[in-house]
Amino acid sequence: MTYQPHGDHLIAGQRIGTEARWTSSPAHGPVHAFSTGSPALVAQACAAAEAAFWSFGYTARAERAALLNAIADAIEARGAQITEIGTQESGLPAARLEGERGRTTGQLRLFAEHILKGDYLDRRHDPAQPDRQPAPRPDMRMIQRPIGPVAVFGASNFPLAFSVAGGDTAAALAAGCPVVVKGHSAHPGTGEIVAEAIAEAIASQGMDPGVFSLVQGGKRDVGEALVQDPRIRAVGFTGSLGGGRALFDLCAARPDPIPFFGELGSVNPMFLLPHALANRGATIAQNWAGSLTMGAGQFCTNPGIAVLIDGADATDFIATASAALAKVGPQVMLTDGIADAYRQGRDRVRAGTGVTEVLTSACDLRTATPYLFEVSGDAWLENHALGEEVFGPLGLVVRARDAEQVAQIARSLQGQLTCTLHLDPEDSGFARRLLPILERKAGRVLANGFPTGVEVADSMVHGGPYPASTNFGHTSVGTLSIRRFLRPVCYQNMPTDLLPVDLG
Ligand code: NAP
């Protein structure tokens, strides 16, 4: 049965409607009205989250694991409805929404399993040394404790896996932190039905309903109030560099600055080393075209830049990539704003000195078709703007003069979520030279693959130096992401019966 959004906020289990309403802009399907958020509603949600922390922050790991599994069940029970409204709002195909739902519930279940093991608590113990000279050593035990209420901002391009019940929410709940989500205006109905699933799961576990709230947006002051609310202890954000930077600055300017875990943009450069290019250039070019245009290129891990050494192999690579990209038809973009930003990004690249348009295209209001540009290594090094993300299916090939210039280009990069090496065994000397540079630039370095498709796993790192993220010591995907919402506390000479249960 089709889900009919009520359009209200969901604050501590209560539906709250406001007279002020705004209407959604779905890619197709019916338009719905949603209550506009306000700083007063944000304050209400944060107060409920803070009150809930005093019970939720002290739950046993098994209780939180049960909650995460119950949320996954409640999402699965609404699977068909979520796919329908998610498809309408985002324009993404049903198969993509279904896959993303599986990723979202799989992530919740993985985190449940992970916290049960307890390793994430990083428990340490330095036993007392009463006879130590010149002074005795006290007994010290350390453990990770939840930090308090967490604010979450989801991204438009992952209406499920990076949104209301996405990685940030799952990580915060796993840690023992209540969550206040600021709904994304690109998929408010999808956000609402998922919020209903979370609220149902919280009720089924007999937990304080303040553990979760969704405040719909509609106005920018909602997000601004949320990151500045004194009860919020950290922010998980996935979105644009501009939006993320604005909210990060607000967090830093608070009387009590809090961490802002922003996962922002990236151009995810690929380096095609000479033997791989000569032996497999055509295959790499075709696969690149597939990765670059997947989901209309609307992935933060989209590999927008290919760097190679100039010559006949480079020319062949560009010709094959161009032919493969030319076959990709128009794709619907997530929002009118993203489609507009794509065209602006194209214009910026096109206007760059020394840039040649290899494959031209045409985009209407909400669709994108691929573009391919090329530029020399010299021109790239002169124009830092070419290293900025264009969110969409646009590729830029950088023709370097020689191996030294490839290394120079690598050194010129901003922080990235990923960097990729395409190499054959004969390229390993060159790769050994590049790798120390690339590992300083990116959270994940790949060999002979494409960065789109981020595994949810223990060793995944989805983050990187700014502007890929605002906090390079962390990841927003994988079990390590729980660590963002914990802080170490040392208990010195504390009687055992007063220690947290997990230290006992
Ligand atoms: P976005 O426009 O930055 O929006 C993200 C959220 O932040 C929305 O809730 C938005 O509110 C809010 N927001 C944005 N600017 C704000 C401001 N100045 N003040 C208050 N709130 C603000 O990003 P998006 O369109 O959702 O996502 C596309 C971008 O995200 C791309 O650049 C992509 O590369 C990046 N991304 C990164 C990752 C990653 O893991 N690094 C993953 C996916 C996407 P509204 O709802 O009112 O717009």
Separation of CA 155 and ligand 1 centre (Å)? 5
Could you tell me where in the chain the CATH 3.40.605.10 domains are found?
9-20+34-128+136-264+469-503
Average pLDDT over residues 185-204: 98
| CATH number for the domain formed by residue range(s) 270-447 | 3.40.309.10
The answer, yes or no, to whether any atom of ligand 1 lies below 6 A from the CB of 192, is: no
Length of the chain: 504
Those residues with Cβ within 8 angstroms of residue 93's Cβ, 6 or more apart along the chain or in another chain: 87
By C-alpha distance, which of 109, 103, 96, 90 is closest to 24?
90
Residue 361: pLDDT over 90: no
**Cα 467 to ligand 1 centroid, rounded to whole Å:** 13
Reduced to 3 DSSP states, what percent helix, strand and coil does the chain have, rounded to the nearest 5?
45, 20, 35
Question: Which CATH fold topology does 9-20+34-128+136-264+469-503 show?
Answer: Aldehyde Dehydrogenase; Chain A, domain 1 (3.40.605)
Is the CB of 184 within 6 Å of ligand 1?
Answer: yes
Whose Cα sits closest to atom 48 in ligand 1?
185
In short, whether 156's Cβ falls inside 6 Å of ligand 1 is: yes
How many angstroms separate the CA atoms of 55 and 179, rounded?
14
Question: From the candidates 50, 84, 200, 263, which is the catalytic residue?
Answer: 263
What is the average pLDDT value for the chain, to the nearest integer?
96
For residue 364, pLDDT beyond 80: no
263 tagged catalytic: yes
From 111-115, 153-157, 229-233, 317-321, the region with the lowest mean pLDDT:
153-157
Nearest CA to ligand 1 atom 2: 240
Ligand 1 atom nearest the C-alpha of 265 is 34
Q: How many CB atoms lie within 10 A of CB 365?
A: 9
- Entry pTM: 0.96
39 exposed, middle or buried (CB, 10 Å; 0-12, 13-18, 19+)? middle
What pLDDT score does 471 carry? 93
* Residue 504 pLDDT > 80: no
- Short-list 177, 174, 205, 213, CA closest to 43: 213
- Ligand 1 pocket check for 420: Cβ under 6 Å: no
Confidence of residue 380 (pLDDT cuts 50, 70, 90): very high
Using the atom order of ligand 1, give the atom closest to the CA of residue 221: 20
Query: Is 46 annotated in the active site?
Result: no
Q: State the pLDDT confidence band at 297, using cuts at 50, 70 and 90.
A: very high
Which residues in the chain are classed under CATH 3.40.309.10? 270-447
Which residues partner with 125 through β-bridges?
141
Name the residue of 9, 103, 157 to mutate for ligand 1: max ligand atoms within 8 A of Cβ: 157
